[in-house]
Amino acid sequence: MATKKYTVTLPEELAEEIRQEVGSGGFSAYVTRAIEHQREQDRLGELVAWLEEEHGPVTDDELAAAEAERREFERHFTQRGAASGDQARRAS
């Protein structure tokens, strides 16, 4: 991907904190990832707005069902990860 240099203004404390964590060579990559993440969030927000416009707002019951499903997936993958760790320990 081609790159281009831009000038942005950031809070000094924040910029220096990040620079210390990632080093001067990693600063641009860090900022790029942050912008990409924000862009994804913006697009998801646009999708939610469009879906709510088409189908109406999400109900409390739908939110509760989605949260229950999310917790079930989390449990499944946590148990699966623990089982994989057990297998790896037995193999060594």
Residue-wise pLDDT tens digits, 4-58: 999 999 999 999 999 999 998 899 999 999 999 999 999 999 999 999 999 999 9
Please tell me whether residue 73 adopts helix, strand or coil conformation.
Answer: helix
Q: Is the pTM here over 0.95, yes or no? A: no
* pLDDT value at 91 more than 80: no
Nearest-5° Cα angle at 56, 41 to 37: 5
Distance CA 85, CA 69 (A): 24
The radius of gyration of the chain's CA atoms, rounded to the nearest angstrom, is: 21
* pLDDT value at 89 more than 80: no
Residue 27, Ramachandran bin (φ over 0: left; ψ between -120 and 50: alpha; else beta) = alpha
Instruction: Name which of 68, 46, 69, 49 is nearest 58 in CA terms.
Output: 49
Residue-wise pLDDT tens digits, 52-88: 999 999 999 999 999 999 999 999 999 988 777 666 6
